[in-house]
Structure 1
Amino acid sequence: MSAAAPAGSPEARALLARVATTPHLLVALDFDGTLSHLSDEPMSVRALPEAAEAVRSLAAAPGTDVAFVSGRTLRDLRVIAEHDDDSPFHLAGSHGAEFWHPRGSSVRDDASVSPVDEDRPDVADEVLAAVEAAVEALDGAWIERKEFGFGLHTRLANAADTDRATSAVDTIVAERAPAWRRRTGRDILEFAWRHEGKDAAVAALREQLAATAVLFAGDDVTDEDALRSLRDNDLGIKVGAGETAAAVRVASPTELAQVLSQLARMRSAAQE
């Protein structure tokens, strides 16, 4: 795994220029920590104004589709993205277990996946009740129920309570739902009975939209699935510190917004 080139370097500029000229570009973006700063109140998160402007410009550029690819449920992703039925952005929620596509999109209506009761295992309610009870007394730790599982949030917990909560939740799931997929992220531990990942979400969007290249950007461990899946003519961007499979690194969502704005200008100029 080679070191990611810093944004603004000659290597990064060359990689950006390459995807800017591809015939049909998919710009797939994580949301939390990528288009927005992280927050102690997850539902208060919103895209930075400059990031929101950049993705709108990209969605309006010729031959360009923009998608938000998130671990959030589709319902919550629509809230934080301030997304309505007239939005031009594709959505992949729950790590790619749920999709939403804009009106007039080339994607078939039946390509969108919605939660169905039949997917829910019999043990789900038992597991959810058990993990909630296990962390109830731990200050700063809480369980978020999701469409296909749950997330243990520990952003506000101290190290000792984080360890206790993680150990308790791991034990419960190992005993009662060992087949559920385990994911770790920044101050979150997730379990789901659906096993889709962001790599599969990007692959599905690439095929559905007939993209000739993909730019994917993300900040967390779960985004590395998608970054590792990218092809030679794609571009992966890591937001923030940490080991990564991305070719380019930016320091913050603000710097990513600047890169996306530059890409929108390059994309429009290349198609004129």
Structure 2
Amino acid sequence: MSPAADAPADPAGPVEPPEALRAAVEALAVRRPTLVCLDFDGCVAELADDPAAVAPVPANAAAVERLAALDDVVVAYVSGRPLEQLRALAAPPAGVLLVGSHGAEQDLGADAAPLQLTAAQRRTREQVLELLEELANRVDGALVERKPAGAALHVRAVADAAAAEALLVEAHEAAAAVDGAHPKDGKMVVEVPVVHATKGEAIRTLRRRTGAAAVFFAGDDVTDEQGFAVLGDDDVGVKVGTGETLAGHRIAAPSDLAGVLAALAARAEARGADAPPRSTPTRPGAAPDA
């Protein structure tokens, strides 16, 4: 059963998006095919101290299902999560593309292949794990998450805010000195992949593979800025939460995302009666582009 079906619907309905954002997504939805890229943690799902204890906001899950059912819309999760963990926690409907580990892992259809680290990358990953675990053992509440493409140090459960920030700074600096490691700062986390990949590169790949005429991307974290950076004038970027951003629009929290996705879906559904799509988006099982 999908996350949307596990919880009762909100009788108040989704939060209405700001007028400028509504106008932007309605204009974007006219362009076809439309690619809808979504970060998971802090965007579709609320953040949690335990990385394994999250699930999509029910209204967001329902909106994703609605969009995924449209023939000329492609939905993709673009996340720092390991691919299999993303699949398990997001429980995406059929047809949704998955990008994990900031782009290092991708399930884009029939040609999906597991991540294969080189011998050098495996050695670097072990070195990073040892380093982060040593640092985490010094501070109560710090947690190391093992990932196929590297590791992450989480401090969301650390009670002392100053100690948490100091630990993140130390972890980033130490990881940066490891040959082949690529530390990335996030919200209360330092990600250290051993494969160079960014969400911006992933979105470019998705755009090319799907033939998208326009891209919507929503994200909340520092690493999502690389995704916002590759968007064009006809695309729409939405920052979830506070902080400096390259995105053209902002909403306050994951609970506000459903209204934005609903507005996009409603316009995309309405356009179906206007004219046939200009091209057919690539979906799982379709032949890749040349």
TM superposition score category, shorter chain reference: 0.7 to 0.9
User: How far apart are the structure 1 equivalents of 2:140 and 2:219?
Assistant: 29
Correspondence for 1:166: 168
Match of 2:31 in 1: 22
> What's the offset of the Cα at 1:164?
4.4
Q: Does 1:13 align with 2:14?
A: no
**Structure 1 segment 121-270 matched on structure 2, within 5 A:** 121-157=122-158, 158-175=160-177, 177-270=178-271
Q: Is the contact made by 1:97 and 1:113 (CA closer than 8 Å) also made in structure 2?
A: no
State the Cα RMSD in Å. Answer: 1.8
The structural deviation recorded for 1:57 is 0.5
Give the residue type in structure 2 aligned to 1:147: P
1:183 CA drift (Å): 0.7
CA shift digits 1:186-232 (9 cap, x unpaired): 10011111111000010001101111110000111111110111011
Q: Verify the 8 A CA contact 2:182 2:193 in the aligned structure 1.
A: yes
Amino acid at match of 2:172: D
Once the two structures are aligned, what percentage of the paired residues are identical?
37
Q: Which amino acid aligns with 1:173?
A: A
- Equivalence for 2:7: none
Structure 1's unaligned 5+ residue stretches are 1-5, 103-108
Deviation >4 Å, runs of 4+: none
Aligned residue pairs: how many? 256
Cα drift, residue 118 of structure 1: 2.2
| TM-score after normalising by structure 1 | 0.88
| Residue 118 of structure 2: aligned partner | 118
Matched letter for residue 234 of structure 1? D
Q: Quick one: distance in 1 between partners of 2:239 and 2:166?
A: 31
Aligned to 1:99, which of 106, 116, 125?
106
Query: In structure 2, do the counterparts of structure 1 residues 167 and 233 end up closer, same or farther at CA, with 3 Å as the change threshold?
Result: closer
Instruction: Show the counterpart of 2:81.
Output: 72
Residue in 2 aligned with 1:105? none
Question: 2:128 touches 2:181 (CA, 8 Å); kept in 1?
Answer: no
State the TM-score, normalized to the length of structure 2.
Answer: 0.83
Once the two structures are TM-superposed, the CA of residue 261 in structure 1 deviates from its matched residue by 1.0
Question: Is the Cα contact below 8 Å between 2:155 and 2:164 reproduced in 1?
Answer: yes
CA distance in 2, matches of 1:51, 1:156: 26
Provide structure 2 residue ranges, at least 5 long, that are not aligned to the other structure. 1-15, 274-290
Give distance in 1, aligned partners of 2:74 and 2:169.
Answer: 41
